[in-house]
Amino acid sequence: MIHLKNEKQLEIMRIAGRITGEAIQAGREAIKPGVTTAEVDHVIHAYIVKCGAKPTFLGYGGFPASACISVNDEVIHGIPSHNRVLKEGDIVSIDVGAFYRGYTGDSAATFPVGKISPEAERIIRVTEESFYRALEVLEKGSARVGDIGHAVESYCVENGCSVVRRYVGHGVGAELHEDPEIPNFGTPGHGIRIIPGMTICVEPMVALGTGDVYEMPNGWTVRTKDGKLSSHYEHSIAITSNGPELLTKV
């Protein structure tokens, strides 16, 4: 069931979204060679709590941290660890949600650690740009879910990357994951129509290789099967009568 939001609910979601976006930036500033992913998670946790919000991911389905931090061939759901030391050349995906007065934001981005390879730079750029291709589709109005996915995948493929099909974007609001599902692939003109009042997460998960993935024995971390790099970019978006509004962009 899709939960449409009214202006009052949207007001709260804007705050939850802003805190989420700022928490990502706080994490970004903490990233450097020699820092552990647990330390980055700590910075994010502290920022969200300082804002009077709660880290949505902490305890969600049993997840043990406030942010998912996924390095290199890890796609999503990486568990922050004191043993995972970031080194020059890594790429780090941070995925965060802040829960505020009954609503959550959800956002992700991938950042370099020091100087990275041209391939790593390329996948980060293509992932982010594919998100904005989807946003253009939403700006035109009365898009369908299939139009969004098609925009993301076709852009990634044109640029020599593939999308990870096993995980998808989603509605967002009082729950972290609401209807509808927003896959990163699709057929133009097909699927549910996106209408004002919807709040959705568009989140390209992109790989330099095939995009086939597996889940590690820890029950969380998802990695590429071929060990190639992966990147993630996500914003929570409110669909309004004036067009899409990025709730988590700061």
What b/e string do you get for 193-217 counting C-beta neighbours within 10 Å, with b at 16 or more?
ebeebbbbbbbbbbbbeebebeeee
Examine residue 113 and tell whether it contacts Mg ion (CB under 5 A): no
3-state class (DSSP) for residue 19: helix
Question: Which candidate, 108, 125, 131, 113, places its Cα nearest to that of 23?
Answer: 108
CA 62, 65, 68, 73 torsion-angle sign: negative
Examine residue 92 and tell whether it contacts Mg ion (CB under 5 A): no
Examine residue 73 and tell whether it contacts Mg ion (CB under 5 A): no
- Structure tokens belonging to residue 75: 């796609």
Examine residue 65 and tell whether it contacts Mg ion (CB under 5 A): no
Give the range of 12-20, 22-30, 193-201, 215-223 binding Mg ion by CB under 5 A. Answer: 193-201
**CA dist., res. 93 & res. 56, Å (int):** 17
- Choose between 140 and 151: whose C-beta lies nearer to Mg ion: 151
Examine residue 178 and tell whether it contacts Mg ion (CB under 5 A): no
Examine residue 194 and tell whether it contacts Mg ion (CB under 5 A): no
Examine residue 108 and tell whether it contacts Mg ion (CB under 5 A): yes
**What phi and psi values does residue 103 have, to the nearest 5 degrees?**
-135, 155
Residues 6+ apart with CB under 8 A from 162: 156, 206, 207, 208, 209, 210, 211
Examine residue 201 and tell whether it contacts Mg ion (CB under 5 A): yes
Instruction: Please report how close the Cβ of residue 109 comes to Mg ion at its closest, in angstroms.
Output: 10
Examine residue 200 and tell whether it contacts Mg ion (CB under 5 A): no
Query: Applying CB under 5 A, what is the total number of residues that bind Mg ion?
Result: 6
**Taking CB under 5 A as the rule, which mask of x and - marks residues 44-63 in contact with Mg ion?**
--------------------
Interface residues with Mg ion (CB under 5 A)?
A: 95, 106, 108, 201, 203, 234
